[in-house]
Structure 1
Amino acid sequence: MVGEEMSTESGFFLPVENVQALASNNSGEIPSRYLRPELQSEEVLADESIQIPTIDMRKLMVAEDEMGKLHYACKEWGFFQLINHGVAEEVIEKMKADLQEFFKLPLKEKNAYAKLPNGVEASERNMRFWPQEPTSFRATFDKYSSELQKVSICLLELMAKNLKVDPGQLMNMFEKGRQQIRMNYYPPCVHASKVIGLTPHSDICGLTLLAQVNEVQGLQIKKNGKWIPIRPVPGAFIVNIGDILEIMSNGEYKSIEHRAVVNPETERLSIAAFHSPSVETIIGPLPELVKENGAIYKSVSREEYYKFAFSRKLDGKSIISHMKLEN
């Protein structure tokens, strides 16, 4: 949560120097592990009029055309911005404020919550390891995560209806599932064009909800071979389909490759909530969606799925490629 990690082949993580500390030394030197020379050859779309769809959750409850927009967004983009989602503004703003206060703490205090060598992700650990400073952090986090869980379940119900599958089946899988929260800090870098904040990847979970803590652009998605910078809508959650939902929908909904780039002048902070199904869930296409054309993905246990996912570093859509059945 407070620095960068490097994955090992076993799926554990080795700590590297805290990125806030690294950025504050003002040496201008970039460690070789952060340099990504291939970035300069990848095309970033300059047309700002091309953006992911915006979905109004309030309208989803009453308007059929909004349900159509949701279905289109999931099929064609895999990403959308969700407005009027029902999470109180004060809950979101308090979470943002507490997170910003946490990152202002001295490095020694933040390191008390860093992962141990060969430890698990911070989001996998017991809540007692979450920060005690600011003093309101734990209560704020608990309320925020609870509200996002409600939003995710509601979205999954609506997506199931659009897919013409039993909403109860999908909701039951995720209501008993796991929610993981990641707090992201991307420091400014004067050599922003040479480094990456987060490697291109698709999310291994079912559904992700992202909140921008400040309005600094950094998220980019890949569509038709080009990177599209996402302009955050104030107050919206950026929602994206994860690999599990692409697999369950038998490819009808798309898990899209995305990345985070850094800003040359300003830090960027965000909060990502990842939602996954219960441990007994079989990760594979839903039975109703394979009757006509057959399955295009394997069906494996959740344990086997995550064992493979955690055994490799972030790498485009490698998990989807692994799960696809050979023709």
Structure 2
Amino acid sequence: MSNNINLGSSIPVPSVKELVAQPLAAVPEQYLRDVAGDCPTGDPSLLQVPVIDMTKLLSPMFHELEVQKLHDACKHWGIFQLIGHEVYDESVKSMHNKSQEFFNMSPDEKKLYAQQPGSLEGYGQAFVISEDQKLEWCDMIFLKSIPAHTRKLQFWPKQQPHNFREALDTYSNNMRKIAVSIIGFIAMALGLDAKRFSEAFEGGSYDVRMNCYPPCPEPKRVIGISSHADISAITLLTDCGDIPGLQVLKNGQWVFVEPIANGVVVNIGIIMEVVSNGIYKAPYHRASVNREKDRFSIVTFCYPDTKFEVKPAEQLINSDSTALYKSLTYDEYTQSFYDRVKLSDDGIPFIDTLKI
């Protein structure tokens, strides 16, 4: 991404964790949302997010069947859980611990890494652009991690938590390994050049967002993260525990993505929706909160290298299937999104602005 792209900024807001640390008689008005007309929550016994096994994708015996299963998951859900990826080890668990340690530090310690004017990086909340907008029940720290030269280390905790920087470096590289591998199979499922996509993500960029969702006395009246589709190519999420919170919109219902031990949630982003010419959809998803416990998660947004053009793949365009989306350079695509943030109250989804 070019240095001249304006990534916007966010207005400082109170820490939710500090808020719940005081006796809280009622949730402040700025967090309460209108739940009238909200989609219902689906029965988890009836609707479950698909599970894809990397060991089967790599196995000559099961490869073809698992690639078809992957295609169906991307086409009908836009999200799946990945198991068998072989990089979930002590380093990933270590990053989970470091993330929780960070949010449990004192307010003064965390504020050393607070977002600065003109930057989304650091500790705070994302995309708060108005004093009047509803706030999310979430504290976060957002850091650009790969390539290493894009890191703004003033936002990376240095002394406490101990070895935070080393843990995040290892974690980010682990997530890149998963992304490079699974994006190749996603391309393969579309009939595209798997090697080209894997190489684009080997040299891509990876941004990490760590989330803390404190317990809330009125969990059904707030939202951890509002409904949205990701602008990445794919997004990888790991839950730091077994508390469900991520929900995906499927058939007009919100479906909980139940945490799986050693699993990584893979979410299709808008870049891949464009590349697939709409065959795969970037699903709307959100985060709910609960009444009793903190929930922590780590999200890695995965982008291809800056030479990658965001446009429908030529192999998918023919007399029966015309291009549905514009062709943009990587920088044009990214800047168009951050320009849209200021207009988000017009109700037009970002993906619709990319259509021909």
Kindly state the Cα deviation for residue 284 of structure 1 after the two structures are TM-superposed: 0.9
Residue correspondences, number: 317
* Of 115-124 and 284-293, the range deviating more from structure 2: 115-124
In structure 1, distance between residues paired with 2:246 and 2:237: 10
Shift of 1:138: 0.9
Structure 2 contact 216–291 (Cα < 8 Å) conserved: yes
User: Which residue in the other structure is 2:352 paired with?
Assistant: 321
Q: Is the 8 A contact 1:208 1:239 kept in 2?
A: yes
2-structure distance, mates of 1:127, 1:227: 37
2:336 is matched with which residue: 308, 311, 319? Answer: 308
More displaced 10-residue stretch of structure 1: 127-136 or 100-109: 127-136
Q: 2: CA distance between counterparts of 1:263 and 1:65? A: 38
Give the letter for the 1:300 counterpart: L
RMSD of aligned residue pairs (Cα, Å): 1.9
Q: Is the 2:88–2:262 contact (alpha carbons within 8 Å) kept by the matching residues of 1?
A: no
Counterpart pick for 2:179 among 152, 161, 183 = 152
In structure 1, C-alpha distance between the alignment counterparts of 2:254 and 2:36, rounded to whole Å = 11
Letter of the structure 2 residue corresponding to residue 86 of structure 1: E
Partner of 1:3: none
Task: Give the match's secondary structure for 1:58.
Answer: helix
Work out whether residues 40 and 193 of structure 1, in 8 Å CA contact, stay in contact via their aligned partners in 2. no
Q: Equivalent pairs: percent with the same residue?
A: 38
Mind listing any 5+ residue stretches in structure 1 that lack a counterpart? 1-8
In structure 2, distance between residues paired with 1:86 and 1:121: 30
1:26 and 2:26 equivalent? no
Q: How do 1:277-316 and structure 2 match up within 5 A?
A: 277-292=304-319, 293-313=321-341
State the shift of 1:306 in Å.
1.4
Give the one of 276, 292, 304 matched to 2:303. Answer: 276
Distance 1:128 1:116 in 2: 11
Instruction: Give the TM-score of the pair, scaled to structure 1.
Output: 0.92
AA paired with 1:150? K
Of 55, 61, 73, the residue aligned with 2:52 is 55
**Are the equivalent residues in 2 in contact too, given 1:40–1:194 (CA < 8 A)?**
no
> Is the CA contact 1:39–1:193 (under 8 Å) kept in the aligned structure 2?
no
Aligned partner of 2:217 among 169, 190, 211: 190
In structure 2, the CA distance between the partners of 1:89 and 1:317, relative to structure 1 (3 Å rule), is farther
Greater displacement, 302-311 / 316-325 = 316-325
Tell me the equivalent position of 2:148. none
> Compared with structure 1, are the counterparts of its residues 319 and 110 closer, same or farther at alpha carbon in structure 2 (3 Å cutoff)?
same
Distance in 2 (alpha carbons) for counterparts of 1:10 and 1:244: 17
- Aligned partner of 2:132 in structure 1 is none
Q: 1:258 aligns with which of 281, 285, 291?
A: 285
- SS state at 2:176 partner: helix
Q: Is the 8 A contact 2:7 2:335 kept in 1?
A: no
Partner in structure 1 of residue 93 of structure 2? 93
| Change over 3 Å in CA distance of 1:118–1:251 after alignment to 2 | same
User: Are the aligned partners of 1:218 and 1:262 in contact in 2 as well (CA < 8 Å)?
Assistant: yes
Aligned partner of 1:5 in structure 2 is: none
- Rounded to whole Å, the distance in 2 between the matches of 1:161 and 1:254 is 17
Single out whichever of 128-137 and 209-218 deviates more from structure 2: 128-137
Q: Matches of 1:53 and 1:47 in 2, distance apart?
A: 12
Hey, what does 2:228 align to over in structure 1? 201
In the alignment, the residues of structure 2 paired with residue 284 and residue 65 of structure 1 have an alpha-carbon distance, to the nearest angstrom, of 28
Structure 1 residue 40: Cα displacement: 6.7
**1:13 aligned residue:** 10
Displacement, 1:156?
A: 0.8
2:272 is matched with which residue: 221, 239, 245?
Answer: 245
Q: Are the aligned partners of 2:26 and 2:217 in contact in 1 as well (CA < 8 Å)?
A: no
Q: How far apart in 1 are the matches of 2:36 and 2:355?
A: 28
CA distance in 2 between counterparts of 1:281 and 1:18 reads 37
Q: Once the 2 structures are TM-superposed, how far is the Cα of residue 39 of structure 1 from its aligned partner?
A: 5.7
State the alpha-carbon separation in 1 of the partners of residues 21 and 154 from structure 2. 29
- Greater mean deviation of Cα atoms: 51-60 or 123-132: 123-132
What is the aligned partner in structure 2 of residue 130 from structure 1? 156
2:53–2:66 contact (8 Å) kept in structure 1 = yes
